[in-house]
A = this chain, B = another copy of it.
């Protein structure tokens, strides 16, 4: 076909969710394959509030693989991107050679254009790489017509991305094999399992960019003896307990395990040399608030967890959300002049809180400590957007200007 003939690219657009671990992943036993030193478990957040959207276009007229992230072209040669591209193409080739007719044979020799955007600010410090790589792998798989176990490929983009390949409650089984083939994600329960569970993301006003998680966890593995102990002797039991708590919808156990695990992860960061601090003054204030709130009721009604940054993610039940939010407003008076809504996502009706509860919370108000809150819940895994108008790449294979 002559070069000037118009060739229309094959285009697929998908979305994928963020996940928040309640048993944390920290530390790799194999850097290249991204094999973890312990299993982990997370809740997939609903894409109505937080998601990555990725369009992949494949066309024989494309000269090279290219990628645009949040409106900016990035280097396609990033090793982890290359891992995902290579592994998906390898899988497609294998399926084709095995005689699978669904694999798009022509497509396999074509270059791809990739365009990806998050519906939340990267600055929010929400593990955007998990949603990003899950979405990339899921979309590429659709383009090449492969399906089945894909979490092992997403894992090679970003460890926790493997957990974003499923909805609901997801474990990442660390596996034992040296080639990593058994280090994959598995759904523990679907998102419909625990309809009362609610999630609040408390976005802290960041002081500065913390140590990146890739560099951080490597230093931890090299220097922290507590991390080794945690991975070998604490997490295996904790995983069992957490899975049981999820099966039973036992919130008190789920909450305590979640808080303990977050604290222990940050403890291993502090045991790293030089030490790593992800929790800031706002984070510690949230921790105190949650413990005071729970102590007031003599029960774990609310749990916090923190990833490699200062934002708190709160797990609670539907019946406590409104009251707890009111307490948060009391301790972190919103800055009404920043032009943003303090609470976004799922609607929560304001409630009055009792004087007893007010008196039980002994904390100095910290104004502007939390810039805003995203209210959400557990949600489904990645999905295909069927409406072509939602493609982020135009018929020319370049990002739409309004993307």
Chain A residues in the interface with B (C-beta under 8 A): 223, 225-226, 229-230, 233-234, 256, 259-260, 263-264, 266-268, 270-275, 277, 280-281, 284, 287, 291
Contacts and interface: CB of A to CB of B under 8 A. Distances in A.
A226 B270 CA distance: 12
A270 B270 contact: yes
A226 B284 contact: no
Contacts of A226: 226, 229-230, 234, 264, 267-268, 271
Nearest to A229: B229
Contacts of A229: 225-226, 229, 233
A175 to B, nearest CB: 24
Contact of A273 (B256, B275, B280): B256
B275 A271 contact: no
A234 B223 CA distance: 12
Chain A interface secondary structure, helix, strand, loop or mixed? helix
Copies assembled = 2
Contacts of A273: 256, 259-260, 263
Given A233-B229, A234-B225, A287 B275 contact: yes
A256 to B, nearest CB: 7
A226 B263 CA distance: 11
Contacts of A274: 259, 287, 291
A220 to B, nearest CB: 11
Given A226-B229, A229-B226, A229-B229, A263 B275 contact: yes
A159 to B, nearest CB: 22
Contact of A263 (B259, B270, B281, B287): B270
Contacts of A277: 284
A64 B287 CA distance: 47
A116 B264 CA distance: 41
A226 to B, nearest CB: 5
A223 B234 CA distance: 12
A257 to B, nearest CB: 10
Nearest to A271: B267
A403 to B, nearest CB: 36
A69 to B, nearest CB: 28
Contacts of A233: 225, 229
Contacts of A266: 270
Nearest to A226: B226
Contact of A267 (B270, B280, B281, B287): B270
Contacts of A267: 226, 267-268, 270-271
Contacts of A259: 273-274
B271 A263 contact: yes
A291 B264 CA distance: 23
24 contacts: A225-B229, A225-B234, A226-B226, A226-B234, A226-B264, A226-B267, A226-B268, A226-B271, A229-B229, A259-B273, A260-B271, A263-B270, A263-B273, A264-B270, A264-B271, A266-B270, A267-B267, A267-B268, A267-B270, A267-B271, A270-B270, A274-B287, A275-B287, A281-B281
Q: Nearest 8 A-B pairs (CB), nearest first?
A: A267-B267, A267-B271, A267-B270, A229-B229, A274-B291, A263-B275, A226-B226, A264-B271
Contacts of A271: 226, 260, 263-264, 267
Given A225-B233, A260-B273, A263-B272, 19 more contacts: A225-B229, A225-B234, A226-B226, A226-B230, A226-B234, A226-B271, A229-B229, A256-B273, A259-B274, A263-B270, A263-B273, A263-B275, A264-B270, A267-B267, A267-B268, A267-B271, A270-B270, A277-B284, A281-B281
The interface centre, meaning the residue of A223, A226, A233, A287 with most chain B CB atoms within 10 A of its CB, is A226
A246 B172 CA distance: 46
Nearest to A262: B275
Contacts of A284: 277
